[in-house]
């Protein structure tokens, strides 16, 4: 059945969301334990249950929530973590999002749009560091329509660096397009289409997005419907935390996910929960009107892990090192690393300064340093793109994920891609640390498939690349 997106309304009923938040503010330990028991079976949570856990203040119950999230994370995702880098293609923007350094009124920001040659150079630098998955990021400007964005995606896929690096999955974070525009992106082979609603509270949204195309709340709210209608199976959603009450925006985000699931049979592939960070000439970002404490933020991530156990949770370098490490255990399944948030900043040191970035980055370490810490923490870094390339996306992926597929396929694929990284890109220190780690992971992993995995790992050591299950 074809979906007529022009007939969609605001399915986020604000009164109903507030009602759910308020009715579940009372803390009944028996109910909380019951909810955690249900969450432990990886069945997810309804909105009322999520709202209840989100507001738990008791330290012991909070620890029980964190514990449940760690167990679900481990049971479903094991100890692998997917890595990617953002690549900013243009910071030209005709919107005036009050909190963003790229807003049109920020005349101090040097505007830059990468040419095809500059884009290739940025990609080659990221490839030479070992990246295989990129998130392309764009300001919104009438100059840059779907065809132009598609061309940049094509350029990225076609760029192969000297060290035999290639980008195997290009995800996109750009302003919402119409169905035709999304179809153009789908045809050029994007992975996930990502777009954050920022806040689901319409009055706050209107205040913070006064002009430009982005002021149309519903156009943005229906973006994922249009993307899915156009055949993009994997969509990534999020809320920018700090703009409005985090309890409202978290429950609304889950309601948005539930709406997609009921309409398309599959919810979002990933969720993001960026916290507002200081940005050039964006006063509001220095003093978020609804800042969350670290404790509230960690609980939010744990609750998302329990509420949508099979949905990827993405963490950017907005957060600092210690927080990133903790959230890894609580539920995050994808991390960006070594990020720069200015077009050209990977190749041109002139643009690698904190004052020109879109927002302040909290973790400035290189990819190799991040990897070393991940391994020390017992995780396998992964650049696997097998599912996307074998058509295991959307509903198909979710079906497999619910049947233990992640442990059976994703884990060996993580080890294969990590071994490629160790052969081609790792520093001496990382290799010394990681080689025994990989051997131990193979020896201590499931016996089923071990022989084939060992054989493929040694084929990689002999020079073969891009092997996956």
| Residue 359, SS3 per DSSP | coil
**272 is an interface residue for ligand SF4 by CB under 6 A:** no
- Closer residue to ligand SAM, CB minimum distance, 197 or 382: 197
What are the structure tokens assigned to 106, written together?
């920020």
User: The tokens of 308 are what?
Assistant: 């949508």
Which does residue 195 bind out of ligand SF4, ligand SAM, none, counting CB within 5 to 8 angstroms by kind? ligand SAM
Out of ligand SF4, ligand SAM, none, what residue 103 binds, judged by CB under 5 to 8 A for its kind, is: ligand SF4
238 binds ligand SF4 (CB under 6 A): no
Work out whether 173 is an interface residue with ligand SAM (CB under 6 A). yes
CB 168 within 8 A of CB 157: no
CA distance 130 to 279: 29
Please report, for residues 33, 65, 100, 235, the alpha-carbon distance to residue 327 in angstroms, rounded to integers and kept in the order given: 22, 13, 25, 22
Which two structure tokens, joined as six digits, stand for 11? 């399915």
Pick out residues in 198-257 that bind ligand SAM (CB under 6 A): 198, 240
Stretch that binds ligand SAM, among 12-20, 59-67, 94-102, 435-443 (CB under 6 A): 94-102
Output 77 or 273, the one with its CB closest to ligand SF4. 273
> 175 to 194, contacts with ligand SAM by CB under 6 A?
175
Among candidates 271, 307, 168, 180, which has minimal Cα distance to 232?
Answer: 180
Rg of the chain on CA atoms, in Å: 21
> Given the complex with ligand SF4, which of 92 and 233 has the nearer CB atom?
92
Task: Kindly state the smallest distance separating residue 298's Cβ from ligand SAM, in Å.
Answer: 18
Given 155, 347, 358, 430, the residue binding ligand SAM (CB under 6 A): 358
137 binds ligand SAM (CB under 6 A): yes
Kindly state the smallest distance separating residue 182's Cβ from ligand SAM, in Å.
14
CA 286 from centroid of its chain's CA atoms: 23
Place of tokens 């520093």: 427
**What does 32 bind: ligand SAM, ligand SF4, none (CB cut-off 5 to 8 Å by kind)?**
none
Contact 383, 131 (CB under 8 A): yes
Identity of the residue, 66 or 175, whose beta carbon is nearer to ligand SAM in the bound complex = 175
Contact 86, 363 (CB under 8 A): no
Q: What is the DSSP string of 145-202?
A: -HHHHHHHHHHHHH-B-TTS-B--EEEEE-----HHHHHHHHHTT-S-EE---B-S-H
Which residue number, 78 or 139, has a Cβ lying nearer to ligand SF4? 139
Residues between 84 and 113 with contacts to ligand SF4, criterion CB under 6 A: 93, 95, 97, 100, 102-103
Q: How far is the CB of 92 from ligand SF4 (least distance, A)?
A: 9
Beta bridge mates, 170: 134
**Of 317 and 419, CB closest to ligand SAM:** 317
Distance CA 318, CA 28 (A): 34
By CB under 6 A, how many residues form the interface with ligand SAM?
23
Please identify, using beta-carbon distances, which residue of 73 and 275 lies nearer to ligand SAM. Answer: 275
- Tokens, residue 156: 């990225």
Task: Give the CA-trace dihedral at 296, 302, 308, 311, to 10 degrees.
Answer: 100
Does position 276 bind ligand SF4 by CB under 6 A? no
Residues 185-214 that bind ligand SF4 (CB under 6 A): 214
By CB under 6 A, tell whether 336 contacts ligand SAM: no
Contacting residues for 175 by C-beta, under 8 A, at least 6 apart: 95, 138, 140, 195, 213, 214
Interacting residue ranges for ligand SAM, rule: CB under 6 A: 99-100, 102, 137-140, 173-175, 195-196, 198, 240, 274, 276-277, 279, 282, 285, 318, 358-359
Interacting residue ranges for ligand SF4, rule: CB under 6 A: 93, 95, 97, 100, 102-103, 139-140, 214
């Amino acid at each position: 059945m074809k979906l007529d997106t022009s007939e969609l309304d605001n399915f986020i009923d604000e009164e109903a969301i507030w009602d759910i938040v308020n009715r579940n503010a009372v803390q009944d330990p028996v109910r909380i334990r019951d909810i955690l028991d249900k969450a432990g079976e990886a069945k997810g949570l309804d909105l009322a249950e999520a709202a209840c856990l989100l507001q738990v203040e008791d330290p012991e119950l909070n620890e029980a929530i964190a514990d449940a999230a760690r167990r679900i994370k481990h049971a479903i995702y094991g100890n692998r973590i997917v890595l990617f880098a953002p690549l900013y293609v243009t910071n030209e923007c005709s919107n005036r999002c009050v909190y963003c350094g790229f807003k049109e009124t920020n005349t101090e920001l040097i505007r830059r749009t990468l040419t095809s040659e500059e884009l290739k150079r940025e990609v080659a630098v990221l490839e030479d560091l070992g990246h295989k998955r990129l998130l392309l990021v764009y300001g919104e400007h009438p100059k840059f329509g779907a065809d132009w964005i598609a061309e940049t995606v094509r350029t990225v896929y076609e760029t192969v660096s000297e060290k035999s690096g290639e980008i195997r999955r290009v995800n996109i974070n750009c302003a919402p397009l119409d169905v035709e525009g999304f179809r153009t992106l789908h045809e050029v082979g994007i992975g996930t289409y990502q777009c954050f609603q920022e806040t689901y509270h319409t009055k706050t949204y209107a205040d913070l997005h006064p002009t430009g195309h982005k002021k149309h709340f519903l156009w943005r709210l229906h973006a994922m419907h249009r993307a899915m209608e156009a055949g993009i199976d994997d969509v990534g959603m999020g809320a920018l935390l700090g703009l409005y009450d985090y309890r409202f925006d978290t429950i609304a985000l889950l309601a948005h996910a539930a709406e997609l699931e009921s309409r398309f049979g599959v919810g979002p592939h990933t969720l993001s929960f960026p916290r507002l960070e200081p940005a050039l000439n964006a006063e509001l970002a220095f003093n978020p009107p609804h800042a969350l404490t670290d404790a509230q933020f960690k609980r939010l991530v744990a609750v998302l892990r329990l509420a949508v156990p099979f949905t990827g949770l993405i963490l950017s370098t907005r957060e600092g090192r210690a927080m990133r490490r903790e959230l890894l255990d609580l539920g995050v399944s994808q991390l960006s690393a070594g990020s720069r948030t200015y077009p050209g900043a990977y190749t041109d040191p002139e643009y690698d300064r904190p004052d020109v970035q879109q927002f302040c980055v909290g973790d400035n370490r290189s990819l190799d340093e991040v990897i070393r810490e991940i391994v020390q923490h017992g995780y396998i870094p992964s650049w696997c793109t097998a599912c996307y390339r074998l058509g295991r996306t959307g509903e198909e992926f979710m079906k497999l994920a619910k049947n233990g597929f992640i442990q059976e396929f994703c884990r060996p694929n993580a080890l294969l891609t990590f071994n490629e990284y160790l052969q081609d890109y790792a520093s001496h220190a990382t290799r010394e640390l990681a080689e025994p780690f990989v051997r131990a992971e193979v020896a201590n992993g499931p016996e089923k498939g071990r022989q084939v995995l060992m054989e493929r790992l040694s084929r990689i050591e002999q020079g073969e690349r891009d092997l996956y299950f």
